[in-house]
Amino acid sequence: MSSNLCVAVPDGATELERLRDRNQGIAPPSNADLIAIIRAKDDLICQLKTAALETDRLRDRVEQLEQLVGVDRSLTSRLRAAFGLEPGVAQVMGMLLKRDFVTHDALYVVLYAARPECDWPDARIVDVQISRLRRALRRHGITIKTQWGEGWLMSAADKARVRAVMDSGDAYVAAVATGTIASMRF
């Protein structure tokens, strides 16, 4: 007996008739089976809602933790704009601004731990990111100090210079937006 799933069903047919026609004589599920299916569906919906709430809670927690270590999305975008940095380099800069000292391992985890482990680059990529950041900051007289074998840090004076460059960039963007750029001095 071949089953044809494309059976034409009249518009007024009940769900039971549609099911019988589709199954071509196979007995429809019993009321108990239908109730079990509905309960299973309701359980799945409940599980999905719970998972969605848990996902939202975890996203909020990740955002809080990122801000604690210096991965603040708004700060990162401001750093990118002010210094012309790539996203990863801007994240490194954000961590250096927010913390007194940043280890190699902490930078590596922040930059790459969200990826599957098979996609993690060589650990020396952190040194490349620091090198790129130093090159971008050199134009502004800002330096990053190295504690060999441990990590990096910025002086309070250099952090203040970074903030001053960001603030002047924000002022420039605001002046362009309002049309007062001609009267401003940068």
- 3-class secondary structure, 8: coil
Rounded Cα distance between 73 and 80, Å, is 10
- DSSP state, 5? S
Tell me if 174 sits within 8 A of 166, measured CB to CB: no
pLDDT in tens, 62-90: 777 776 666 667 788 888 888 889 988 99
Task: Return per-residue pLDDT of the chain as tens, 186 residues.
Answer: 444 444 454 555 566 666 666 666 667 778 888 888 888 888 889 899 998 888 888 888 877 777 666 666 778 888 888 888 998 899 899 889 988 999 999 888 888 877 788 888 888 899 999 999 999 999 899 999 999 989 999 999 999 999 998 888 655 554 544 455 455 454
- Contacts of residue 3, defined as CB under 8 A and 6 or more positions apart, other chains included, come to 23, 24
- DSSP state, 182? G
* Crossing angle of the two packed helices 73-83 and 156-178, in degrees rounded to 10: 80
Residue 144 has a pLDDT of 96
- Contacts of residue 102, defined as CB under 8 A and 6 or more positions apart, other chains included, come to 70, 92, 95, 96, 151, 152, 153
- DSSP state, 29? P
Residue 174 has a pLDDT of 47
Residue type, 144: I
What is the pTM assigned to this prediction?
A: 0.57
List, edge to edge, every strand of the sheet that includes 102-103: 102-103, 151-153, 145-147
